[in-house]
Amino acid sequence: MVRHAALKNLYETEKTIGTGGFAKVKLARHLLTGEKVAIKIMDKSCLGDDLPRVKMELEALKNLSHHHICKLYQVIETETHFFLVMEYCSGGELFDHIVQCSRLSEMESRSFFRQILSAVAYLHSKGYVHRDIKPENVLLDKDQCVKLIDFGLCAKPCPAIDSYLETACGSPTYAAPELIKGDKYLGEAIDVWSMGVMLYALLCGCLPFESDKIDVLYKQIVSGKYNAPEHLSEGSRKILRDMLETDPTKRITIEKLLSHKWVQLGYNEPVTYNSLCQELELDNNCVNTMASHFFLTAEEMWRHLTTERYDSHAATYQLLLARKKQGLPLRLGQYTARTARSRLQSMRRTVANGGNVDTKGTYVKMPASHAQTVQNDKENKGNKMHPPEATPAKLLRKRPRSPQRESSVSPAPKKAATTGKPTGSGTKLKIPRRSNESEPRTPNSRTNSPSTRLFNSIERKFQHVRRVLTPKRRSTESAQPALLTAKNMSNISTTSSNSPDQVREELVKALNNRGIECVCKGYSVRGKVQAANEKMCKLSFELEVCLIPTSANASGSVVGIRRKRLKGDAWCYKRVCEEILNMADLK
């Protein structure tokens, strides 16, 4: 549902997929194209001194266009909030992929590292430094391609990128020694150090410098001493030494990393950082689709897209481009996240039979005669572009509302008032007849008298209040664990048990033995760790018992546990989850 008026009629928000200090990321659906997006919502009242960082993040995202950097679609600013509509990456965080695999093979680590290196090199070529590179800020799309995110701490050194910076920021476990010491630093050098820590995490499944005590952690980082596991190859050890060099003047540079021997192994070519996607590429099919929908010429539509780069039309165009690259049909206005499949099929049959009205707000194509009338009116007005709210198509998509409902504060749903005024090409809206009426209503009918209308209005309101005060009867049957599909197989741990109830009981028992507060809701167990001592950090997470199909055709399934970090340090979450699963003896 849409909780913010700025997103109404544009996006339909779903669940929260990320949280931060002053921002929340919502999964949403773009109503015109049906594509999923991620919306970063920032409350201005919570920003305070961080407002310049938000403006820097916006500037950076607008100036960056790279296939390994998460794309910005639209920016909406109100008096109270910022809304950043961005590309949605269904593969989750790279960190969760590391947790799931314990550690990655050298070849897989190299593949991810080359993509991250390409994004960071492009970022530096544009004069920006990230300053917060870590696996939690690297997302994976459905094709396991890397997308760098979270430019809230990025900077653009002036007058050039080789200028020194002074602000100490970033995550402590990924911070370079010069940041710990409080010295001036080069942004390129600290990004290389953070990439070295992340490469170590990819290869080893843990961090090179880690401690619950912050002063001990800082001493480890400044000393530069870390443990190199025996499984690491000599080439991996060499590139880690080059990147985790405590002296920034001796640390390897991005230019040398691009052609490093270890990086080229298996590829036989250096990493290129030139962007494979243009900032705004012209696609005639997408432009024509939008022009037809908004009753504009292709030239007018393209002129608007090149002028307003991050409005709702620009977002629609970018999402149409994404659909075309996936081989999906180009069409607008036929998607609604809440509409069930059966209703969609019913509405399509209605449109095919000549219908032109949908009282549920789903877009329905207008008759050709009406569209031609609108087109003629537009040409007579000088071919001026109208906002989406002013177009007839937009008006037909709106749910008709009565003035009483707009001013009402009652939570009870009310039926929208309908009128008998002609719409479209002269077709009147048909008012459905009540089941207890034997004769059609006429203007002179007694049922339309003022007193009767008042009585019926009071009666309907009484029925609404009665339904609100009377709670619905809830089913006493216990919910069943979710049956996962191939799209939901991320962050899953399998078990040897075939009883979901037993697995849930073992998880609750293990959490209680670990001293972690837990709340059980259905087959989801939510744990909360309080910072009671130095060895425990504040953390909240969720473990959901689910069913995993054994094969595509078999009806059998095994019980799994889906993990989700809600709040807190990522590596503390990794350690706690491993302890809980080991204590429950479910692996």
Alpha-carbon gap, residue 209 to 420, rounded angstroms: 73
Query: Which of these, 175, 121, 182, 122, lies nearest to 153 by C-alpha position?
Result: 175
CB neighbour list of residue 472: distance below 8 Å, 6 or more residues apart: none
Q: How far apart are CA 215 and CA 306, in angstroms?
A: 52
Question: In Å, what is the CA distance from 202 to each residue of 13, 168, 198, 240, 505?
Answer: 33, 25, 6, 12, 33
List the strands of the sheet with 81-87, edge to edge.
11-19, 23-30, 36-43, 81-87, 72-77
C-alpha dist (Å) from residue 87 to 34, 84, 141, 359: 13, 10, 9, 31
- Three-class SS of residue 419? coil
Task: Give the gyration radius of the chain's Cα atoms.
Answer: 29
Cα 94 to Cα 92: distance, rounded to the nearest angstrom: 7
Asked about 183 being catalytic, the answer comes back as no
395-400 LR contacts (CB < 8 Å, sep 24+): 396/356, 396/357, 396/358, 396/363, 396/364, 396/366, 397/9, 397/333, 397/358, 397/361, 397/362, 397/363, 398/9, 398/361, 399/359, 399/360, 399/361, 400/359
For β-strands 482-483 and 539-549, DSSP reports them as parallel
CA distance 194 to 203: 14
The values of phi and psi at residue 433, to 5°, are -80, 140
Compute CA distances 443 → 400, 436, 446, 459, whole Å.
22, 19, 9, 22
| Integer Cα distance of 414 and 464 in angstroms | 8
CA 587 – CA 580 distance, rounded (Å): 11
DSSP reduced 3-state for 275: coil
**Choosing from 43, 49, 132, 569, which is the catalytic residue?**
132
Question: Catalytic positions, please?
Answer: 132
